[in-house]
Structure 1
Amino acid sequence: MKFGKWFELLLHHILPEWRDRYISYTFLKKRITLIEATRNDIIGADSNQDFLNTYEVDFINLLNVELDKINKFMEEKSRECNVRLQTLKERIEKVKNGYTQAMVMSSHERDEVVLLAKDLVNLHGELVLLENYNIWNFTGLRKILKKYHRRIGAFKGEHYIPWAKCQPFSSNEFILKILNECERILQSFLSVSFLGNNEDHGSLSRGMFQNENEKSVYESSIVALEILNEMTKFNSVYVDN
């Protein structure tokens, strides 16, 4: 299956509010088709070259707009997730302190533990999505550039790809740092030593994701990973070659 089909599958299962934040792969493909059809109507080598130069500049401008959109989303979500993690750490410490002093959880504290667990899992899901966000977008960009060169016979992207690799969205370092911390906190938070006894664990398990809408982030991250794994297994599309 081609990358475009995998990408459509991803967007179908991803969080609705994320769908227009990925590279507009279908739009860019249609743009290439339009350029190709228009070029075929032009007669003469000189006019054809002038046409290609003009449309190449326009196409690069479209790519720049896409990368700007992707960069802004990546930066916004990275900051947001970091703030959410720090807030969750403060809430966890507050619950821990209360539990340590009383050695038993109140009804209010049990509710807060369930809510904290939901918030931690949702945050972890978003971080997993962000971790793979750059792979999908960079793969889409590289595929589009190859398609443009193959069908139009011009712009190869030798200079564009290295430039794109220097953009904020192409680095996962900060996201991985937050993700690793979130996983450590989540593991510690769900440990027996903190929750105390089986009854507390049971309350937590029964309270998790009772609302179908609360499953969306977690399930989207799982599906996105499964699609990426299947895609790379058969195509290895995100590896430069």
Structure 2
Amino acid sequence: MKFGEHLAAHTTPEWRKQDIQYETMKEALYECVEGVPSAEEVDPETIERYYAKFDEKFLQKCDKELKKINTFFAEKLAEAVRKYESLKAELEAFKRIHMASQETNLRRRKQGGQLQGLLKLPAHVVQDKSAKTTRKIHDLKLAYSEFYLSLILLQNYQTLNFTGFRKILKKHDKVSRVLF
């Protein structure tokens, strides 16, 4: 599979505009090769200026793409860090509440006689607390799973774009060697 097809198949649809414009850059390289003045018609300095001008435009396009990708990646990474801190705080709060609840239940069990009878909670209240705790644990697990998947998407974005730059610059070098 060619890289352009691979990029299209593996990109996150919502992030497509933020990916490297690989096909556009590849077309620009081929247009450069097709548009080169004939060596019989012009002097070598003209051909060198043509390539120098093309290289300058091409590398500016690469720089623009790189800035776009790095900015997007930095935004998504900062978003991930904020999400992680939020999930971590939520988990810590849940742990504190759950530990306090367990300590209270333990104290109730240790107390004997008439106090235990007075502090006993009805069965439906205990079941309700248990259901809320189970639901909260389930929600936290789901949130962490979603967070992990978002990190995988971000890692794939980084890898695809890195590969795109490596391949387009390799094509550029190949075309440049043929031209000079």
Smaller-chain TM-score range? Answer: 0.7 to 0.9
**TM-score between both structures, scaled by the size of structure 2:** 0.73
Q: 1:39 aligned to 2:39?
A: no
Aligned to 1:9: 9
Q: 1:147 aligned to 2:171?
A: yes
Paired AA for residue 9 in structure 2: L
- Mapping for residues 83-94 of structure 1, pairs under 5 Å: 83-94=82-93
Q: How far 1:107 moved relative to its partner?
A: 4.1
The one-character-per-residue Cα deviations of 1:63-117 (angstroms, maximum 9, x if unpaired) are 0001101111121111111111111011112222222333474544443333322
Aligned to 1:123: 147
Identical residues among aligned pairs (%): 28
Paired AA for residue 177 in structure 2: G
- Alpha-carbon distance between aligned partners in 1 of 2:178 and 2:136, rounded to the nearest angstrom: 59
Q: How far 1:55 moved relative to its partner?
A: 0.9
Aligned to 2:79: 80
**Corresponding residue SS for 1:153:** helix
Structure 1 unaligned runs (5+)?
156-241
Aligned to 2:23: 26
**TM-score between both structures, scaled by the size of structure 1:** 0.56
Q: 1:134 aligned to 2:158?
A: yes
What's the RMSD between the two structures over aligned residues?
A: 2.4
Q: Note if contact 1:148-1:154 (Cα within 8 Å) is conserved in structure 2.
A: no
- Alpha-carbon distance between aligned partners in 1 of 2:139 and 2:38, rounded to the nearest angstrom: 62
Paired AA for residue 85 in structure 2: Q
Aligned to 2:109: none
Q: How far 1:141 moved relative to its partner?
A: 0.9
- Alpha-carbon distance between aligned partners in 1 of 2:36 and 2:147, rounded to the nearest angstrom: 48
Structure 2 unaligned runs (5+)?
103-125
Aligned to 1:239: none
Structure of greater Rg? 2
Q: 1:68 aligned to 2:92?
A: no
Paired AA for residue 165 in structure 2: L
- Mapping for residues 195-234 of structure 1, pairs under 5 Å: none
